[in-house]
Chain A
Amino acid sequence: MPRIAIQVFASLREILGFNRLEFETPATTVAQLIDFISVKYKPEFSERLIESKTTHLKKYHKILVNGRDIEFLENLDTRLKDGDEVVFFPPAGGG
């Protein structure tokens, strides 16, 4: 199974309880990875990222695969392979 590293920021980090983790996963797309994390760790993770009615990514989140915004890749269908790093980043609003 491919090994994927994830990094999570701000409120998403609070949901999961860690900010960085590496694991083996059968997920081959970003959408599947979100499901995998939600099932394995916290269901709120998916609820926070995905619009339940449309199953689209809520458009104020940034998800990066190897430093590239998935908006400019194939969005939630962006393919993942062994060794990829995925960053989940909700823009921070405090000041």
Chain B
Amino acid sequence: MKLSMSDLERYNRQMLMPNWGEEGQLKLKSAKIVVAGAGGLGCPVSLYLAAAGIGRLTVIDREKYELSNLNRQVLGWPKDLGKSKAESSVEKLRAFNPNIDLNALVVNLTENNVHDLIHGSNVVIDALDNWKTRFILNEACVKEKIPLIHAGIYGLSGQITTIYPGKGPCLRCIIPETPPEVKRFPVLGATPGFFAMLQVMEAMKLIIGIGESLIGRLLLFNGEDMNFNSIEINRNPNCTVCKDA
């Protein structure tokens, strides 16, 4: 695989970063990322991954856009109401960057299909809105040994970490009991937008091999007073999901 003339120009400003260059950009062009969810996190994540020139981007979401989604799910526009989130967002991404391989999957992520959906990808982004599916994705990523970038939000706050099977704790080590699901949580679009950007940075760093990731750290952010907490998180040696990873 080679970078085209257009690649060299389009991605020039990020290639100027230390240890990025043509080599780093080629790694991105060869990379496959799965974004699970095309909602408040998934839309901005997909948009910025497409902007960065990820080779193959798969967006998974079974739901359709509703009017109340549009304060945060920025790839869903009024013309998309009632249409598939995955397909409508991929349509925009295709117009935005026609030189990457884009794939929309209108399916529910379940224990039965999750391995097929993520197999062969370099990074998976947790852009989901419920714990049940998050733990299915966590377990599958541990088994497939694929890094998973987790984020979750509520109101003006949230958390993010990078799960690297075998190197740091998995989601089950951090949250041993599944929290209760909240159906209609309060949220300003800027909150998932902010966490989505952190997820994209984490994904880029892992693929290119630069910087320090959030493996073994949970970053909490509260937008109400603009306060960050970074806490050390450890593997649970008896974790039912990752103890053998």
Contacts and interface: CB of A to CB of B under 8 A. Distances in A.
B220 A9 contact: yes
A92 B153 contact: yes
A94 B129 CA distance: 4
Interface residues of B, number: 43
A94 B222 contact: no
Given A9-B222, A13-B224, A72 B155 contact: no
A94 B234 contact: no
A92 B158 contact: yes
A67 B229 CA distance: 7
Interface residues of A, number: 25
Contacts of B42: 95
B227 A7 contact: yes
6 contacts: A14-B155, A60-B178, A68-B231, A93-B129, A94-B185, A95-B192
Contact of B185 (A13, A19, A20, A93): A93
A13 B157 CA distance: 10
Interface stretch (B33-41, B108-116, B138-146): B33-41
Given A92-B159, A95-B192, A64 B229 contact: yes
Contacts of A13: 155, 157, 224
A94 B225 contact: no
B182 A94 contact: yes
B231 A67 contact: yes
Interface of A: 7, 9-11, 13-14, 19-20, 58-60, 62, 64, 67-69, 72, 87, 89-95
Given A59-B177, A60-B175, A69-B232, A95 B37 contact: yes
B96 interface: no
Given A9-B222, A92-B158, 18 more contacts: A7-B222, A19-B222, A59-B177, A68-B231, A68-B232, A87-B229, A91-B175, A91-B179, A92-B152, A92-B154, A92-B159, A93-B129, A94-B152, A94-B154, A94-B158, A94-B187, A95-B41, A95-B153
A7 B42 CA distance: 29
Given A10-B154, A60-B177, A95 B127 contact: yes
Query: Which residue, A9, A59, A69, has most C-beta atoms of chain B within 10 A?
Result: A9
